[in-house]
Chain A
């Protein structure tokens, strides 16, 4: 049996901002149709990994590949075109302040298609209803929405072009437990409605339990030795919760462990 080519891949990817290394020789593959959840402490490079995969950042060394072809080999136009196949829910939703909710969701449609306004309105209203919001929200500005509503509008915008690959950057951060569950269910529903490959960056163990087909855990470079790999765990959610690696169990169970001792020394 031949192994299926991953839709997204990082090969020996490293990323450094100025003097600050964030990722070192990371190898990661994302298979078509799976939901990969990336967990790890703040600052360990999870969001950077996702931005490398979509080409929003370039690796300092190594390669990011989409459908087995390096992103660096694609022109600016080609990259813009390929990104229509991606949907990206940003941590703070990243809605355009100056545009209404309607204009935000219509943005990728207007940018990448020549659809008539009536058709765009229909699609926008469909997406708004899909994320459980009333269509009356369309005329509001993002500043007038709650955190949960912003996330849902962000999700509606990311889904506007019916993407093949969905990326969720900390989709439940800053939300109450009920709204977090709503978002988790929306991630699941999106997968049920259409075939989609999903990558979810999160700290939320409920999200891991609920949506993950596969989990990878990153560890901050500052806590690793020179030769240690940065991806310290790869497996299913059940395996993550049953892991014997103390770094993984501490994270999934939310235990400070030796960090408290570090604090008391400081």
Chain B
């Protein structure tokens, strides 16, 4: 029998929507406070070398293999997927343009961030979650260390500082992978391939990829550490923290990618109104395609 006092049965969907909204707002507020604590400790007391170096190694060096493999394969996949369409238009030599611009502006940063969220973010949440449930975080506080300063700041700095480098690696291996497949398998002339590849990618495109990646790195570290710090007891709690760290970071990466993409586009138009941005160069490519089809 449904109880009269049962709020769900009394308020139904309105109560449900309210509850979800409150939960979201509570979590957003909690993450914001957590982030301000990171910023506070980062500006108050920088982590010691003994603490920072292992985080840099874990985040940067150990992520290299997976980023290299992913970048190279995505470059090759892009070449295969776009080759047929470009060949129909006799524009095979311009394959490098589409591969490189896609990698530098979009796929490089997003893939490096996804790999970081999967490899480092989940591990961070699981590690800090285990420390939470085994009272190691309380032990840090009890010994006069601030857990945010000691555990989170080095991991945040590692993600924030190293993700642009990982993005460069993903870009470079993707570009090389795309070129390798185009030249040696699809038999496209290397000279023409590189000529088009370079002319369609400008410094601003490189900058926008790097710029976005720093936000992705910060988001991954904040979300993963927050999930770990708020882990519930038991193996299930730790597992859930690791899963949530990846899922929430990934969603945040996509949202940030869209927002920052729009912002960077607007910034480009503002700074160089006469050029109309790197997009105009892309439009040239589209115009060529349209003319060919018509």
Using a CB–CB distance below 8 Å, which chain A residues touch chain B? 51, 54, 56, 76, 80-81, 83-84, 86, 88, 90-92, 94-97, 107-108, 110-112, 157, 161, 167
Judge whether B145 and A56 touch: CB under 8 Å: no
Residue on B with the closest CB to A88? B142
Residues of B within 8 A of A97 (CB): 130, 136
Using a CB–CB distance below 8 Å, which chain B residues touch chain A? 50, 130-131, 134-136, 138-139, 141-146, 150
Judge whether B141 and A83 touch: CB under 8 Å: yes
Query: CB < 8 Å: which of B135, B144, B146 contacts A108?
Result: B144
Question: Shortest CB–CB separation between residue A77 and chain B, in angstroms?
Answer: 8
How many A-B Cβ pairs are below 8 Å?
A: 55
Given contacts A80-B141, A81-B144, A111-B144, list 16 more A-B pairs with CB under 8 A.
A56-B138, A83-B141, A83-B142, A83-B144, A88-B139, A90-B142, A91-B135, A92-B134, A94-B136, A94-B139, A96-B136, A96-B139, A97-B136, A108-B144, A111-B143, A111-B150
Residues of B within 8 A of A54 (CB): 142
Query: CB < 8 Å: which of A81, A94, A96 contacts B138?
Result: A94
Residue on B with the closest CB to A47? B135
Enumerate the 10 nearest inter-chain pairs by beta-carbon distance, A residue then B residue, closest first.
Answer: A88-B142, A94-B139, A94-B135, A108-B143, A83-B144, A84-B144, A90-B135, A80-B144, A111-B145, A112-B144
A81 to B134, CA, bound (A): 24
Judge whether A83 and B143 touch: CB under 8 Å: yes
A86 to B50, CA, bound (A): 25
Judge whether A86 and B145 touch: CB under 8 Å: no
Residue on B with the closest CB to A51? B138
Residue on A with the closest CB to B146? A80
A53 to B142, CA, bound (A): 11
Query: CB < 8 Å: which of B131, B135, B136, B146 contacts A76?
Result: B146
Question: Shortest CB–CB separation between residue B21 and chain A, in angstroms?
Answer: 18
Residues of B within 8 A of A91 (CB): 135
Judge whether A94 and B144 touch: CB under 8 Å: no
Residues of B within 8 A of A110 (CB): 50
Residue on A with the closest CB to B137? A94
Residue of B138, B141, B143 ringed by the most chain A CB atoms within 10 A: B143
Question: Shortest CB–CB separation between residue A119 and chain B, in angstroms?
Answer: 17
Residue on A with the closest CB to B145? A111
A110 to B145, CA, bound (A): 10
Question: Shortest CB–CB separation between residue A255 and chain B, in angstroms?
Answer: 30
Residues of B within 8 A of A88 (CB): 138-139, 142-143
Residue on B with the closest CB to A91? B135
A90 to B136, CA, bound (A): 9
Question: Shortest CB–CB separation between residue A192 and chain B, in angstroms?
Answer: 23
Residue on B with the closest CB to A83? B144
A192 to B136, CA, bound (A): 29
Judge whether A56 and B141 touch: CB under 8 Å: yes
A-B contact pairs, 23 of them (CB 8 A): A54-B142, A56-B142, A76-B146, A80-B141, A81-B144, A83-B141, A83-B144, A88-B139, A90-B139, A90-B142, A91-B135, A92-B134, A94-B135, A94-B139, A95-B136, A96-B131, A96-B136, A108-B143, A110-B50, A111-B144, A111-B145, A112-B143, A167-B142
Residues of A within 8 A of B143 (CB): 83-84, 88, 107-108, 111-112, 157, 161
A83 to B141, CA, bound (A): 8
A83 to B140, CA, bound (A): 10
Residues of B within 8 A of A107 (CB): 143, 145
Residue on B with the closest CB to A80? B144
A95 to B141, CA, bound (A): 13
Residues of B within 8 A of A83 (CB): 141-144
A238 to B265, CA, bound (A): 78
A97 to B136, CA, bound (A): 9
A88 to B145, CA, bound (A): 13
Judge whether B135 and A86 touch: CB under 8 Å: no
Question: Shortest CB–CB separation between residue B229 and chain A, in angstroms?
Answer: 14
